[in-house]
Amino acid sequence: MSISDIESGVPVHSPGDARAPFRPRRLHILGVPVDALNMTAAVNHVSQMLSGDRTHTVLAVNPEKVIAAQRNDALLRALQNCDLLVPDGIGVVMAARLRDMGPIERVPGSELMPEICRLAAGGGHGVFLFGARPDIVARTAVLLEQAHPGLRVVGTRDGYIGETDMDRLIDDINASGADVLFVALGSPRQELWIERYRARLRVKVCQGVGGTFDAICGYPRRAPLLFRKLNLEWFYRLVTQPSRAHRQLALPVFAARVLSEAVRRR
């Protein structure tokens, strides 16, 4: 087996142990961790998590989150403690390639979520949805079950919940028997929530999915396929959602810091 095979997501088996799990290679972009893999490797890794006996966490890393984590120690710790960090933004992928860190491809968290639903439907794993508005999370449950025959959404809870209700929420998630929990609270709230409560959860996979529930319901619609193939989804969002402009300011900051680091290393 070649190094490129391992980094592309081929399971690693130790001699005498046919069940040895795949471990993605963890990189660091501007001091923030991200895993070097592609969608196939990410899905395979989640499949292994679903056969495990503890709570595994899945988060996405993009340029905005890298810059935020440099300023927010709690967010950085949450990322460092995460089991699977998918390279969601093309900027992160390009930064890794600029430093010749090996094979890595963009793995949008919004596209990984339906793959996890497919795994859950095929394996009989219940799913719990937490976050977004009450009407959005309810509609998301219906649409996911329609899109993935056999999928069981065993519980939902909107994101408008106070701290005093968290104990009840955790109890409801655990009592539902869900193996998968999708948390749609936006960043960094969802990362901090997962970091704080993961030890009390009995699910096997917990993924932070940001605004994916809204996107599933068409609010707003995802960028057309052409924009996604050209890695210009960020540009489409900027043009169609001018209110995101303040968030997009992180992109030139990220690019400048990556280039500055590359120059220093040379």
Give dist(CA 257, CA 64) in Å, integer. 13
Query: Angle 21-40-200 (CA atoms, 0-180°, nearest 5)?
Result: 55
Residue 142 pLDDT: 98
Tell me which of 99 and 16 has the higher pLDDT.
99
* Average pLDDT value for the chain: 87
- Using the structure block, give the residue that is written with the tokens 């006996």: 53
Please check the confidence at residue 14 and state whether its pLDDT lies above 50. no
Can you give the pLDDT at residue 230?
62
If you average pLDDT over residues 7-20, what whole number do you get?
41
Half-sphere exposure in the Cβ direction for 196 (13 Å, CA): 13
- Whether the per-residue pLDDT at 8 is higher than 60: the answer is no
Terminal CA-to-CA distance of the chain, rounded, Å? 31
- What are 39's two structure tokens? 């969608």
Task: Please give the domain boundaries of the chain with CATH numbers for all domains.
Answer: 34-212 (3.40.50)
Model confidence at 18, pLDDT cuts 50, 70, 90, reads: very low
Query: What is the chain's alpha carbon radius of gyration, rounded to the nearest angstrom?
Result: 18
Among 69-78, 94-103, 212-221, name the most confident range: 69-78
Once rounded to an integer, what is the mean pLDDT over residues 234-241?
58
Detail the DSSP E strand segments found in the chain: 25-29, 32-36, 56-61, 84-87, 126-131, 152-157, 180-184, 205-208
